[in-house]
Amino acid sequence: MSLIVLEEAFNIPSLAEQSAYQARLFVADGNGQAHADRLVDIHGERLAKMDKHGVAHTILSLTAPGIQDLDEPKAAAATAREVNDWVYQQVQKNPKRFSAFASLSMHNPKDASEELRRCVKELGFVGALVNDNQRLPNDEAAWYDQPEWDEFWSTVTELDVPFYLHPIAPKGEIHRRLYKDRAALIGPVLSFANNVSAHLLGLVVNGVFDRHPKLKIIVGHLGEHIPFDLWRINHWLEDVHKPRGAVSMKKTIRDYFNENIWVTTSGHFSTLTLKYVQDEIGIDRILFSIDYPYEKFEDACNWFKTLDGKFSAEDLAKISHENSKKLFPHLQS
């Protein structure tokens, strides 16, 4: 079965040292250099693994922390442009097998909008992936659920491309207070889902989807814990917070998952979990992904093969590629 994957990290050579440093948090064997090499490789080992495991198309995105770790606006904008130009050249070498998400400096909505427009209109990118909050000077961070970001979300919907909200490791005061003495909770164990779920739910309760009803948001890891608490979230938003006027949202959390939000299987290869998420948000909102090189092609693709007979052929086709083709109609695969 043809597979499309869309939470697949790369890096550019000039940022490889950053990747090797980050690997100490996320690579079991501690070989940061090998991890950094895999991120920079596009057409060698990565493509060979795609061929071996039946992956027809990969949408590439800059690895975390990426641009969101740069607290100086001009440096962040310049690095984003450098990254986008580099990955554009890589995609052009094999556009049937690769496309790209734009990397963006999220220091201000105007600059983010302009770079996204350039990437989509001039470079043919299929959307944007941002690594959660933008780091700002003085240990501050930008959240994109505030009214000043409406300019950016208007650009996203005008261009009619998805926006992938991806995790980043905690920094500054949050790291010091919550994770300094419990470092194993940084990343996939806890912090990634905590941070992204708060950001996504911020978009919900602050009315971003109501002001931009055609906005398309993707999150990974089968929903960053939200589907597993969906009843409770919905109950409290609808039965407590709306009656007391504490939220701006006009619809229910379930409505936004039906209309605006998609999830991927990246790094979450559990059959029971997939069935649960299907029951909660529907098969049409689920997209297959791997999370390479943080996860292995073998683990993701071999697991997906075991779903044969546990899900209908129609549902597996939707997860593997049909839902992605609907969301990204211009893929060349």
Residues 59/16, Cβ–Cβ less than 8 Å: no
Distance of CA 105 to the CA centre of its chain: 15
* Residue 142 burial (CB count, 10 A): 18
Tokens 């992938």, located at residue: 164
C-alpha 46: how far from chain center: 19
Active site residue 150: no
Write down the catalytic residue from 69, 111, 145, 291.
Answer: 291
Which tokens go with 64? 């975390």
Give every CB contact of residue 62 below 8 A, 6+ residues apart in sequence: 9, 10, 11, 12, 83, 87, 101, 103, 129, 131
Contacts of 174 (CB under 8 A, 6+ apart): none
Q: Which residues are known to be catalytic?
A: 291
